[in-house]
Amino acid sequence: MKLISRLILKLIGWRLDERVPETRRYVLIAYPHTSNWDFVLGMLAKWALQLPLNWVAKHSMFWGPLKPMFIAMGGVPLDRVKTTGFIQKNIQLFGEREQFVLGLMPEGTRSKTDHWKSGFYHIAQGANVPIVLAYLDYKNKVIGIGKVIQTSGDIHADLKIIKEFYKDKIGYKPEKQSAISIAPQKTMTDKKTDKSAHH
């Protein structure tokens, strides 16, 4: 698969960024995610770089004959309605395995949003593993891995580093690229107010 994937990428004009980290345990995030083509290119890059990557996708993708195939390809189905314990479950997986690479797309959707989902950061922080930045740059036709970040515990400071890295990476549909920021964290007062509003 390695040679075939490299050949396909070359034939369609894509170049690989091969800065694969030496560590065997990390959270890999990919950005930007604006098209279904991202998945196809991402899988070709996974095979070309021989990454032992586990990736998360909405559970509706895992149906019929596709389910065993996607799971064999490293897929992990996620029910967006039942995400309770998702972060803790992945932290536990990192604790149990000597080699585990978890791939996530922090935008969570191909549509434009005003913030990223912060789960990737909390998983990396909780498991004490680095965040590896993967990207798809359609403008220059480059795909691969470009940077490794050790979390500091200050998500806003680390997000500035991530934002700087991705600032010149262009998706298939640039107008759908989501803002690299996280939603304001709700305080206990905010949560109590929300509950009161629903009564």
What string of pLDDT tens digits covers the 199 residues of the chain? 899 999 999 999 999 998 888 888 999 999 998 888 998 999 899 899 998 888 776 677 787 887 888 777 777 776 655 555 778 888 888 888 888 899 988 886 667 777 788 889 999 999 999 999 999 999 999 999 988 999 999 999 999 999 999 999 999 988 888 888 887 654 333 434 344 444 4
How would DSSP label each residue in 104-140?
A: E-TT-SSS--SSB-SHHHHHHHHHT--EEEEEEETTT
Q: Tell whether omega for the bond before 65 is within 30 degrees of 0, i.e. cis.
A: no
pLDDT of residue 73: 75
How do strand 100-104 and strand 15-18 relate by DSSP bridges? unpaired
pLDDT of residue 188: 35
pLDDT of residue 190: 40
CA 181, 28, 54, 69 torsion-angle sign: positive
pTM of the complete model: 0.79
Name the DSSP letter for residue 153. S
pLDDT of residue 7: 96
Helix (H) or strand (E) holding 96: helix 86-96
pLDDT of residue 192: 41
